[in-house]
């Protein structure tokens, strides 16, 4: 064992860097300037010989490689009546075997190499990921590429997966949180939006290996890939390995431009939609209140981000947290969420959970805070604190590890973010004024359009108590909706 040079310096009595004083207040602390250069996306990006973009960063700190292949396309592309095929395909790409590899042998090999291999799919994109010790990178890549290129979706593995999937469907109404998430999507996006085309028992049962093969054929191809990787490798070597692997696919020109999704045409009808969950242990209600919001390409995206931070997205510092939780003790979790949608708009939401009796009162306080930020805007001090958060936290939000840098830029390409999005991110925040915040609050928060999702013991939530001087019915039109059957998603009687 030997001592690090820095430690030796300490042992010899390093000079103190600053004064011995402790200032009476933390605001009096002085900090040296912080320097952070936004990593150069162009320098990181490589175009592989087949046209696939790749963001590869050498990071020799640990003997490990993380590789993520983003695949354009996702569950929004499922054919009619085959809801669930995207998930089944992704999962069986990993576990269903290949033309030359028995699926059990694949499991054994991946586990023996201590690798993590996964294929997953979301709404408009998916991913194949590999995490492996750098000494085994070649082997890991070979397996991953075989899984993606030559899957056979073995019938017995599909049968097991379908049984697991149906078991999952059965649990759809077990948790109030699952009901809330599903019903909120229905209310904010409407039943026709692809986000709400969910798997049913009938759709899962109808899916065959042929459906999986067809989905795979239309989904997985290097022309639809964007690669991000970081770890202990030589960039030139990894480029060659990926090029060799991708060359095994028939050549196709790379798909360029951002992924897209249909427009959201639906507007929720205002009202308080209640979903009753029976059970004497359901002592807490879950409430989401909102309306349609924006996507990341909106010109006011930074102003809206900061406004939302001050109102309720800024964690403990936010107005909602201070009022509803810290001062009133009405909720553990309370927040607003006006995240810009990445591809299609995400709704603006107020979200909290409170004991049945105080749900209505907590909701009223949230609504008051919406009115207040619309009417009064924010103080210069509040704005400065929010701006300073984004300016100072910026490196940690997007670039905290080499893999996060690669992932941030790969995602930016997938979404078609402007080239200078991260370069100008901080200046756009820094130049905001209180007037900007008030303007976007008025333009983007519309109390008259609010639709509510309330899940829990609805009679108790409606009854309230004598302590909290408001009833649910005082706040809007209450509409009771039966829960959906977990298998068919038809409303139950």
Partner 1 sequence: MRALILGLLLAMPCLGQDRESGFKLPVQEFVLDNGLRVLLVERHDVPRVFCSLWWRVGSVNERPGVTGLSHFFEHMMFMGTDVIGTTDAVKDAELNAKIEKVMGKIREVKLARLEAKRRGLETPAGEDELYKILMKEYEGYVEEQKKTIVPEHLSKIFQANGGTGLNATTSYDRTNYFVELPANKVELFCWLESDRFLKPVFRSFYPERDVVKEERRMRTDSTPTGLIHEAYWSMFWQAHPYKWPVLGWMSDIDQYTLADAQRYYDTHYSAQNGTAIFVGDVQPAEIQELCRRYFGRLKRFPGERDAIVTQEPDQPAERRMEAEAESKDELSVQWHGPSAVHKDSAACDLMMSVFSGRSGRLFRPLVEDKKLALDVQSYFWSLRYGGVLNLGVAPREGADVRALEKALLEIVDDVRKNGITERELDKVRNQQMADLVRGLKTNNGIAQQLGYFETVGTYKDFFAYAKALETVTAADVKRCAEQYLKPTGRNVLVVRRKEKK
Restricted to residues 302-341, the positions that interact with partner 1 (CB under 8 A) are: 314-317, 321-323, 325-333
3-class DSSP state of 56: strand
Residues of this chain, 108-127, that bind partner 1 according to CB under 8 A:
108, 110-115
Spatial CB neighbours of 480, under 8 Å, sequence gap ≥ 6: 274, 276, 458
Reading phi first (left if > 0) and then psi (alpha if -120 to 50, else beta), residue 456 is in left
3-class DSSP state of 282: coil
Total residues binding partner 1 (CB under 8 A): 102
Residue number with CB closer to partner 1 (191 or 315): 315
Q: State residue 369 phi and psi, 5-degree precision.
A: -70, -35
> Applying CB under 8 A, which of residues 191, 396, 418, 459 lies at the interface with partner 1?
396
> Applying CB under 8 A, which of residues 47, 155, 160, 442 lies at the interface with partner 1?
160
260 binds partner 1 (CB under 8 A): no
Residue number with CB closer to partner 1 (52 or 462): 462
Give least dist CB 418 to partner 1, A: 24
Residue of 483, 482, 480, 484 whose CA lies nearest to 462: 480
291's enclosing H/E stretch is strand 284-291
Spatial CB neighbours of 479, under 8 Å, sequence gap ≥ 6: 271, 272, 273, 274
Considering only the stretches 17-25, 85-93, 366-374, 422-430, report the one whose residues sit in contact with partner 1 under the rule CB under 8 A.
17-25
Is-contact 351 336, C-beta < 8 A?
yes
Residues of this chain, 400-459, that bind partner 1 according to CB under 8 A:
400-403, 456
Considering only the stretches 31-39, 191-199, 215-223, 246-254, report the one whose residues sit in contact with partner 1 under the rule CB under 8 A.
31-39
173 binds partner 1 (CB under 8 A): yes
Inter-helix orientation angle 85-95/103-112, to 10°? 70
Residue number with CB closer to partner 1 (50 or 318): 318
Considering only the stretches 85-93, 167-175, 261-269, 414-422, report the one whose residues sit in contact with partner 1 under the rule CB under 8 A.
167-175
Give least dist CB 364 to partner 1, A: 17
Binding mask 347-386 for partner 1 (x = CB under 8 A): ------xxx----------------------------xxx
Residue 409 C-beta-side C-alpha neighbours within 13 Å: 28
> Applying CB under 8 A, which of residues 9, 247, 267, 375 lies at the interface with partner 1?
9
Residue number with CB closer to partner 1 (35 or 80): 35
Is-contact 406 56, C-beta < 8 A?
yes
Residues of this chain, 72-91, that bind partner 1 according to CB under 8 A:
none
Residue number with CB closer to partner 1 (64 or 294): 64
The CA distance from 389 to 394, in Å, is: 8
42 binds partner 1 (CB under 8 A): no
> Applying CB under 8 A, which of residues 202, 256, 397, 473 lies at the interface with partner 1?
397
Is-contact 209 93, C-beta < 8 A?
no
Residue number with CB closer to partner 1 (49 or 104): 104
- Residue 100, judged by CB atoms within 10 A of its CB (0-12, 13-18, 19+), counts as exposed
How many C-beta atoms surround the C-beta of residue 340 within 10 A? 18
24 binds partner 1 (CB under 8 A): yes
Go through 145-174 and write b for each residue having 16 or more CB atoms within 10 A of its CB, e for each that does not.
Answer: bbbbbebbbbeebbeebeeebbeebeebbe
Give least dist CB 358 to partner 1, A: 9
Residue number with CB closer to partner 1 (283 or 442): 283
107 binds partner 1 (CB under 8 A): yes
257's enclosing H/E stretch is none
Considering only the stretches 84-92, 130-138, 431-439, 471-479, report the one whose residues sit in contact with partner 1 under the rule CB under 8 A.
130-138
Note the residue count of the chain: 493
35 binds partner 1 (CB under 8 A): yes
Alpha helices for 333-488 (secondary structure H): 359-376, 380-398, 402-415, 425-430, 434-444, 458-463
Binding mask 194-223 for partner 1 (x = CB under 8 A): ------------------------------
**Beta bridge partners of residue 131, listed in sequence order:** 66, 116
- For residue 166, what are the CA distances in angstroms to 160, 170, 204, 406? 10, 6, 8, 36
> Applying CB under 8 A, which of residues 25, 100, 210, 217 lies at the interface with partner 1?
25
Considering only the stretches 10-18, 144-152, 219-227, 474-482, report the one whose residues sit in contact with partner 1 under the rule CB under 8 A.
10-18
How many C-beta atoms surround the C-beta of residue 69 within 10 A? 26
Binding mask 269-308 for partner 1 (x = CB under 8 A): ----------x-xxxx------------------------
């Amino acid at each position: 064992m030997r001592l690090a040079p820095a430690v030796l310096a300490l042992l010899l009595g390093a000079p103190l860097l600053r004064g011995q004083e402790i200032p009476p207040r933390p605001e009096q602390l002085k900090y040296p300037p912080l320097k952070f250069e936004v990593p150069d996306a162009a320098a990181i990006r490589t175009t592989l010989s087949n046209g696939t973009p790749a963001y590869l960063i050498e990071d020799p700190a640990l003997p490990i490689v993380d590789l993520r292949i983003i695949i354009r396309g996702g569950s929004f592309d499922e054919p009619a009546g085959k809801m669930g095929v995207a998930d089944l395909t992704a999962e069986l790409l990993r576990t269903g075997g290949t033309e030359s590899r028995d699926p059990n042998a694949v499991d054994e090999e991946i586990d023996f190499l201590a690798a993590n291999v996964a294929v997953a799919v979301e709404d408009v994109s998916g991913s194949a990921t590999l995490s492996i010790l750098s000494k085994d990178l070649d082997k890991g890549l070979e397996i991953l590429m075989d899984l993606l290129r030559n899957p056979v979706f073995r019938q017995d593995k599909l049968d097991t997966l379908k049984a697991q999937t149906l078991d999952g469907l059965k649990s759809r109404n077990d948790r109030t949180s699952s009901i809330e998430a599903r019903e909120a999507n229905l209310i904010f996006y409407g039943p026709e939006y692809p986000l709400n085309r969910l798997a049913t028992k009938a759709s899962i049962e109808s899916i065959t290996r042929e459906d999986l093969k067809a989905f795979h054929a239309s989904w997985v191809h290097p022309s639809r890939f964007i690669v991000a990787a970081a770890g202990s490798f030589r960039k030139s070597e990894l480029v060659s390995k990926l090029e060799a692997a991708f060359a095994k696919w028939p050549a196709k020109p790379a798909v360029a431009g951002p992924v897209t999704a249909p427009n959201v045409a639906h507007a929720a009808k205002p009202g308080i939609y209640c979903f009753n969950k029976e059970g004497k242990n359901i002592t807490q209600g879950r409430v989401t209140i909102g309306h349609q919001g924006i996507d990341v390409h909106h010109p006011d995206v930074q102003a809206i981000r900061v406004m939302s931070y001050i109102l309720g997205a800024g964690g403990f510092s936010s107005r909602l947290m201070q009022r509803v939780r810290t001062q009133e003790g009405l909720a553990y979790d309370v927040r607003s969420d006006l995240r810009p949608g990445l591809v299609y708009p995400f709704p603006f939401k107020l979200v909290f959970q409170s004991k049945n009796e105080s749900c209505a009162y907590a909701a009223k306080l949230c609504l008051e805070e919406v009115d207040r930020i619309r009417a009064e805007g924010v103080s210069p001090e509040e704005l400065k604190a929010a701006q300073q958060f984004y300016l100072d936290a910026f490196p940690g939000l997007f670039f905290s590890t080499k893999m996060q840098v690669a992932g941030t830029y790969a995602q930016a390409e997938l979404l078609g973010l402007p080239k200078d999005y991260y370069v100008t991110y901080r200046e756009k925040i820094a130049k905001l004024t209180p007037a900007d915040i008030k303007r976007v609050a008025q333009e983007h928060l519309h109390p008259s359009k609010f639709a509510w999702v309330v899940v829990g013991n609805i009679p108790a939530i409606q009854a309230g108590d004598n302590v909290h001087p408001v009833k649910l019915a005082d706040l809007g039109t209450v509409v009771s909706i039966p829960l959906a059957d977990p298998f068919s998603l038809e409303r139950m009687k």
